[in-house]
Structures are given as C-alpha cells and as structure tokens.
Amino acid sequence: MQQTLFPMNHKLLSPKYVQPVVDKYIALTYQNLEERANQYNGLNVALRDFIVPLTFNASGHAFFGKDCPVNDLFEPFKLFDDNFHLLLAGVPKMFMKGPVRAFDELAIVIEERYLSRPDALDDASDLIKEYERILKEGGFVSRPPRTQGFSAF
C-alpha cells in the first residue's frame, strides 16, 4: 500500500494539481466574502463566525465541485473540528459521542448523498478526480453498505 500511496500523494500534491484548486478557492472565497459582507450590512460579528463558514464553503466547492452539499456538512464539521484536539489526545469515546457522531454524519453525507451519485465528481477538481481514479485502480476504495459507524475514533 505504501508503495502506491506515497508516490501518488507526491504526484498529486504537485503544483499541477494543487494550483487550480488554490486558484478556485481564492476566487470562491472572494465571491463568498462579498456575498456575506452584504448580508451583514455593517453588523458586528465575531471573525470566526464570519470566516469559518465562508472558507469551509469555498474549500468544499473548490475541491469537490459546486454540487458538494457544503451547507449540510458545516454543522457536523464544526462540532467535529471543535473537538478534534480532544479526540487526538485520546479522550474516551464515551465522553466524545457528539464529535464521533458528527464525524460519522460527515461520512454519511459525503458517501451516501454525494459520492453515490454517478455525476458527483463531474465538477470536482482534477486533484480529487485523480485521487479517486488511483485509489479505485489500486483497490483502496470500497464503499460497502453502511452497517457500522465510519468513525476512525
């Protein structure tokens, strides 16, 4: 596995694949900034509450395309992200049911509602399309029916 995945990551994280995603991310971030700024119309808002949803939206669409359900993914992402450091520190699962459930929910939305569609990756970045192709050809992608939590934690 390492013989396949390491060279694959080295190739796919080269400027050829990354730069178009960065360019699209920047363009989407500017677009989202303008739209969100108009919504707030001079109101005070915490910087994190303003920036994180905006950049999450831009990155989801830059990598996975305009049909990626970023609005459905944000709340579970936020819960998971807010507790990620605790999960890495090894806090027992019994105390982390919400973040673990959020991780599972992210996987469900991505796997079952997005990637299960035949046209899901039509608008995705070449980086994601190439990852998907290489992983499938190497036998690393398997999407069995969901019978247990996806959670790696």
Predicted TM-score of the model (pTM): 0.76
CA–CA gap between residue 128 and residue 110 (Å, rounded): 13
Q: What is the pLDDT along the chain (153 residues), one digit of tens a residue?
A: 667 777 878 888 888 889 999 999 999 999 999 888 888 777 888 988 889 999 999 999 999 898 888 999 999 999 999 999 998 999 998 899 999 999 888 888 887 777 777 788 888 888 888 877 877 787 765 544 444 444 454
CA–CA gap between residue 39 and residue 105 (Å, rounded): 29
CB 96 within 8 A of CB 86: yes
Q: How far is CA 46 from CA 51, 66, 106, in A?
A: 9, 27, 25
CB 41 within 8 A of CB 97: no
Amino acid at 25: Y
